[in-house]
Amino acid sequence: NAGVTQTPKFQVLKTGQSMTLQCAQDMNHNSMYWYRQDPGMGLRLIYYSASEGTTDKGEVPNGYNVSRLNKREFSLRLESAAPSQTSVYFCASSPPVGRNQPQHFGDGTRLSIL
């Protein structure tokens, strides 16, 4: 059981380049999330998807787009990367029922924008 899988694990981009971060979960979870983690800032929600076909903005959505391709996959796209988007990106998913079910996280993608 792989859980939440993120690809790639590391990436270096030049300013202005585009990039899609991939995320897939095999736990039949309805909800999926993208976070970014910056030093001293904790994790901040970029976008989330409550179910297949729906997406909503989180706390820091500017500069990003997302696609919920199907129930398993939720991708994050940087159309024109900026140095301020240098961060570690985490994908997470949560089950459809259960009042206290935690989110399950992928291992993260370290993204550097030069």
Nearest to another protein of 75, 105 (CB atom) = 105
Stretch 12-51: interaction string toward another protein, x if CB under 8 A: ------------------xx-x------xxxxxx--x-xx
Scan residues 83-112 and list those touching another protein (CB under 8 A): 88, 90, 92, 94-97, 99-103, 105, 107-108
State the Cα angle at 98 between 105 and 25, rounded to 5°. Answer: 30
Find the shortest distance in angstroms from Cβ 16 to another protein: 27
Site for another protein contains 61 (CB under 8 A):
no
Site for another protein contains 70 (CB under 8 A):
no
Report cis status (omega within 30 of 0) of the bond before 8: yes
CA distance 18 to 8: 14
